[in-house]
Structure formats: structure tokens, C-alpha cells
Amino acid sequence: MATISGGTSNAGAAVANDSSITDATKAILNGVNASGGVYTTTTAGSASTPAVAGGPDRAVTIVDQPSSVVQVGSQLNAFVVADQAATIAGGAGSGTIVGSTGGDLIGTAGSGGGQYSLLAGAGNDTIIAASGQSTINGGDGADIIGVFGGQNLVAVGAGDTAFVAAGQNTVQGSAGSTTGFSGGQNVFVGSAGAETIIAAQGTSTISGGAGKDLFLFTKLDNSGGRHVITDFGAGGTADTLAFVGLGATSVDALLANATVSGGSVTLNFSGGISVTVQNTTVDALRGNILLG
């Protein structure tokens, strides 16, 4: 296992002498302090021209190092992890983090957050973003993506599961993905495939796309939620609305108490939760609602 951390200057330290690290990587890790299989990077630029210690440009490539742990410093511009699964933790700075073909754990941490581009590799990855402004791409594989605060742009890949809480986030879905919202002000844009979108507290604007989507609404507490679906039944598909734990026991009663205005139908629930379905009618919704 290798642990690679950005931050403290350590210019002039010996380059790690490990046969599993390529010569190019040793050049990038110029200024590395190695002891007992633990590697601490303090400066990096390119294979041909390493940056000075403490400089803003730090690019790291890890080759044939399974179970690596990478801690990003506050000045990081780029981390690249290849070949093996790794744990990558971002700091309060900005940078680009690229996962491997293995199953990576990629996260940005710190109360100040950071401005990161997080690109998962082909494995089944876990990506966690805290505060800050990040662009997240799940890539291939069945990934788990958690977003907690910040203003993030999230691309959810096919088979991915995303949970978005707080902040102001925009999520791009893919066929076969599942996305859950709770808190914050979020926007979801679906694809032409079938997706599952779950919403609780907060406000969200949801465009499911042309696929046969499931829109599921529930509540975790009594803080309320206001959600808008812009394209229910888009492309002639039979989307489904599901309401779980919201106190509704009869579809007929729910529709009878709906508010109809300007081509939109608003369904109202206890706890201050409402769901507005645009460009539809009460009759069009009937037969496409599930209660639980």
C-alpha cells in the first residue's frame, strides 16, 4: 500500500527506489520521502520538468501500486491514479482527480471545500463531495456518488446510485441510474433511458427525459419539500409517480384535492410537501400513481 500526501515541502529528499514505480513516475515524484512503503510527495510537475517544492502544479501517476491512499494538499492542481484501486481525499484547494480501473474511493473534504473535477474510472467507485464546487463524472461501472452541500455538477453514469443532500446541485442522469435528493435546491436532467429519481426535503426541478422513469417522493422529517416535474410522460412513455410515507391512502382523493393551474397539477401532502407536474392533466396522471 502506498500513501501519497500533498502539502509540506520536502525538497531534496530521495526519490523512492521501488521497482513497481516507473522511472517516469519517479521523475514526477521528485522530492519524495520514502520509508517502509509509505510515500509522501511534496512536489511534482511533469516527468521531464518537475515543479519546485511547494509549487501549485502537482501531477501524480501511480502505476502498479494496489490500495494506494492519496491525500490532496491545498495547492493541488492534478492527481492521476492508474491501474489499481485507490483512496483519494481532496482538500480545500482545486484540482483534477482521475480514478483508476479499480474500485476507487474518491472524496473532497474540508469545510472550505474545493473546486475539483472528479472523474471516476471503469471500476465500481465511491465518490463523496462535500462543500465546494465540483464537477463529478461517475464514469463506467456501478458507482456510488454522495454530494453533501456545495454547488456541484454531477454526471451519473448507467448503473450508478447518487445521493444529493443540501447545496445547489445539477445532476445529469443516465439510463439505469438512481438519484436521490434531500435538502438543498437541486436540478435533475434525465436521459432517453429509464431512471429512478427519489426526492424528499428541499426543492428540486426534475426533467426525466424520454425514458420510462420512476419519480418517487417521500419525507425524512417535517421540513417540507417542493418539487417540480417538467416533462412527465415525455416522448410518449408511461412514467410513474410513487408517494411513500406521505399519508396519502387513495389516488382518487389525492387527485380530487390537487391544485390545477396553467396546465400544471400540484399534488399536496402533509408536512409541507408538494409535487407539481407541468404540462399534464389530472386524467393523464390517473393510472400512473403508486401509494405506499
Q: Which domain holds residue 264?
A: 63-291
The strand pair at 68-71 and 3-5 is best described as parallel
Predicted local confidence at residue 23, as pLDDT: 38
In a domain, 14, yes or no: no
276 within a domain of the structure (yes/no): yes
Does 98 have pLDDT greater than 70? Answer: no
Please report the DSSP string for 96-107 in residue order.
EEE--SS--EEE
**269 found inside a domain:** yes
Compute the C-alpha angle 88/91/93, nearest 5°. 125
CA atoms of 222 and 284, how far apart (whole Å): 29
7: pLDDT strictly greater than 60: no
In-domain check, residue 1: no
Residue 114 clears pLDDT 80, i.e. is over it? no
Q: In which element (H, E) is residue 170 found?
A: strand 170-172
User: Could you give the CA distance from residue 20 to residue 102 in angstroms, rounded to a whole number?
Assistant: 17
pLDDT at 174: 82
pLDDT of 10 > 80? The answer is: no
In a domain, 270, yes or no: yes
Write down how long the chain is: 292
Count of domains forming the chain? 1
pLDDT in tens, 163-208: 887 778 888 888 888 888 888 888 998 888 889 999 988 899 999 8
Residue 94: inside a domain: yes
Mean residue pLDDT across the chain = 70
Half-sphere exposure (Cβ direction) of 39: Cα atoms closer than 13 Å:
27
User: What is the C-alpha to C-alpha distance for residues 162 and 36, in angstroms, rounded to an integer?
Assistant: 37
Q: Kindly report, residue by residue over 228-257, the tens digit of the pLDDT.
A: 999 998 766 789 999 999 999 999 999 999
Domain contains 34 = no
Residue 79 lies in a domain: yes
